[in-house]
Chain A
Amino acid sequence: MKRRLILALLAAVACLYAARAIYHRHLETRLLQSWPDAAAQDPQLLRFAAAVAVPAMAEHCASCHGADLRGDPRRGSPNLIDKEWIHGEGGVADIEQTINYGIRSGDHRGRDLADMPGFELPVPYRRYQIASLQPADIHDLVEFVLQLNHREPIDPAAAAHGASLYTTALCYDCHNGNAAGDPSIGAPSLRPHAWLYGDGSRETLTDIIAYGRRGVCPGWSGRLKPVTIRAIAVYLHDRSGPS
C-alpha cells in the first residue's frame, strides 16, 4: 500500500513536470508566432516574457545597462526603460532587431549608419569627408547645446554663432533640424531628459564634439535563443513604451 502511494506520488510529480514543460513550450510557441507588437498586448504573454527576460537580462545586459536597466552615462550605455529610444521607435520589432544584431557590432544587419564625428580631429569622420572645427567653434556649439537645454549661464553671442555652425558643420544632418535626433540612424536628441554620455556639463559636451563617440552593443542572435530575444524585446517594450 505504501509503495503504491509512493509510486502514485512520483507519477503525479512527473505528470506535473511534464504538464509544466508542455505549457512552457506552448507559451514559447505563442510568443514566437505572434507578431511582435501583438505579443506585447497579451497579458499572459507579457507575464511569460517577463519571467524569461528578467533572468536573461540579469545575466547578459546588466553588466552594461545596470541591474535596474537605467544605464550608465559614464559608459554611454543608455537607459532602457525611459521611453527615449536612440535606435528605432521603440516598437517590439525595433528592439528585437537591436538585440539580435547589435549596434556597430560588426554584424552587417546591425545598426551602424552613423557615428558622432570628432570635430577636433584631423580626420573627423571615417564615413565621409567633413571639415574639422576650431576650438572656438566647438566652444560656441557647446553654448548652443546648453542653450537648447536651458542651461545657465550662457554666452548668447557664442550660442548664436553655435546655432549657425549647427547647420554649416552638418550637425543637423544627423541630429535633425530641430535637434530632436533621428532614431532611424541612432542620432540622439540634443534636448534630452537624460544624457547618453556624461552629465551634460560643458567639459563633457566639449569632449564629445571634439573627439566623437561610437557606442557599441553586441548582437545576440545565435547566442541567445530566439524566444529569449523576443521575450526581452517584449519585456523592454512593456517597461518603457514607445517614445
Chain B
Amino acid sequence: MRSDSNDAVSPWIRWPGRARLSLLLWGAGALIGLGAAGIALFTAKGTATNSVPPEYIATVNQRPLFVSDYIYQLQTELNVSPEQATSEQRRRVLDEMIREELFVQRGLELDEPEIDPDVRNALVAAVQAQVTVEATSQLPTESELTAFYQQHLDRYSSIGYLTLADLVPVTATPGAPVGDSLARAATALRDGQPLALVETQFHLKESGQVSGEQVYFAAKLHLGDRLFAIASALTSGQVSDAAPGDDGRLHLLYMLSNNPPRPRNFTLARNEVYNDYRLELQRRITDSEFKYLRDKADIRLNPAYRP
C-alpha cells in the first residue's frame, strides 16, 4: 500500500524544494531570453514588422517615411503647422510622400541611376551635399580659425577707397606742349594752390573717369591698370607726374584722400573666416572621399582609349 501511494505522487512533487526553485529560475530565464530575442528580431531595422515606430509616419515596403519630413513638407508645401492642417491636407501630403517613395523604389529597381543623366547628377549633388553637412558639423576651434586667418590675411583686408582728381587738358594750350602744362600744374598743386584755381589757370578738367569717393576695385576699373598703379601709390595730398592713360591722353593725378585696404581684425572677419575654413574643409573631405572611392574601385581602362 505504501509503495502504491508513493508511485501515485508526481516526480515534480518529489523533487527537493531547492532543485524546484532552480528549475523555475532556469525556465523563467529562458522565457525572458526568448522574449527579448523576439522583440529584438521584430523591431530591428531592416526586419519586416507590422508595427510602425513612433518616429516614422509610415513605412513603405519597410522603408521609413520620417515624421520630421512629413511635418517639413506640410510647412513648406501648404504653409501650415501640423496642428493647423486639416485631415484633407494631412492625407494629401502623406499620399505625396508615399507616391514619391514608391517611385523612388521603382526607379532603383529599374536602375535609373545607370541610365538617366538627371538622376546621376542629382546623386552626385546629393553625395557632395552630404560632404558639406559633414564639414558644417565639424566645429573648428578658435585657434584653428585664428591660424587660418593668419595664413590667408590677404583675403580679410578691407576694401580700399580713394578720392582722386584725374586731370586732363581741356584743349592743348597753343604753342605749349601738354606735358609742360601738366608739369607746371603739378608744381602748383604741390605748392598748395587750390584745385579749382589750377584747373582754370592751366586749362585742365577732370577726366570724368572717377568722381567722388571710389572703392579701389571701381577706381581700377575706371582708370585702367597703368593709372591705377600710379594712383594707389599716392598718399593723401600727393600729386603724380603727367602720365599716359589707356585712352592715349596725358593725365595728372591729384590724390585728395587715399585709404588703402587694411587687414580687418579677426573679430570682425570671423564669420568670413569660418565660412572660408568650412569651404576648404569641404574641398578636403570631397577630395579624400574621391580618393578613397577611387582606391577602392576596380577601374579598368580600355587600352584603345587610354589617354
Contact = CB atoms under 8 A, between A and B. Distances in A.
Interface of A: 4, 7, 28-29, 32-33, 35-38, 63-64, 74-76, 91, 93-94, 96-97, 100-102, 105-109, 120-122, 132, 134-136, 197-198, 203-204, 207, 210-211, 213-221, 223, 225-227, 229
Contacts of B75: 93-94, 97
Contacts of A37: 81, 83
Given A28-B54, A97-B75, A216-B278, A211 B82 contact: no
B270 interface: yes
Interface string B232-273: 000000000000000000000000000000001001111110
B83 A132 contact: no
A186 to B, nearest CB: 14
Given A35-B82, A135-B215, A216-B275, A204 B68 contact: no
A165 to B, nearest CB: 15
Contacts of B217: 122
A74 B139 contact: no
Contacts of A107: 129, 133
24 contacts: A4-B21, A32-B54, A32-B55, A36-B71, A36-B81, A74-B270, A94-B75, A100-B72, A101-B72, A105-B132, A106-B129, A108-B129, A109-B72, A122-B217, A135-B161, A135-B213, A136-B213, A210-B159, A216-B275, A219-B137, A220-B137, A221-B66, A227-B54, A227-B55
A141 to B, nearest CB: 15
In the A-B complex, the 6 residue pairs with the closest CB atoms: A106-B132, A218-B137, A226-B55, A32-B54, A218-B136, A29-B54
Interface in B68-102: 68-69, 71-72, 75, 81-83
A63 B55 CA distance: 27
Query: Main secondary structure on chain B at its contact with chain A?
Result: helix
Contact of B271 (A4, A76, A223): A76
B202 interface: no
B71 A97 contact: yes
B212 interface: yes
A4 B66 CA distance: 48
B67 interface: yes
Interface string B39-57: 0000000000000001100
Given A35-B82, A132-B215, A216 B68 contact: no
Interface of B: 21, 25, 54-55, 66-69, 71-72, 75, 81-83, 129-133, 135-137, 139, 158-159, 161, 212-215, 217-218, 264, 267-272, 274-275, 278
Contacts of A93: 71, 75, 81-82
Given A97-B75, A122-B217, A226 B66 contact: yes
B112 to A, nearest CB: 19
B68 A229 contact: yes
A134 B215 contact: yes
A109 B71 CA distance: 12
Contact of A226 (B68, B72, B218): B68
B97 to A, nearest CB: 13
A200 to B, nearest CB: 13
A213 B271 contact: yes
Contacts of A35: 81-83
Contact of B133 (A28, A64, A218): A218
Contacts of A197: 271
Given A218-B137, A219-B133, A132 B82 contact: no
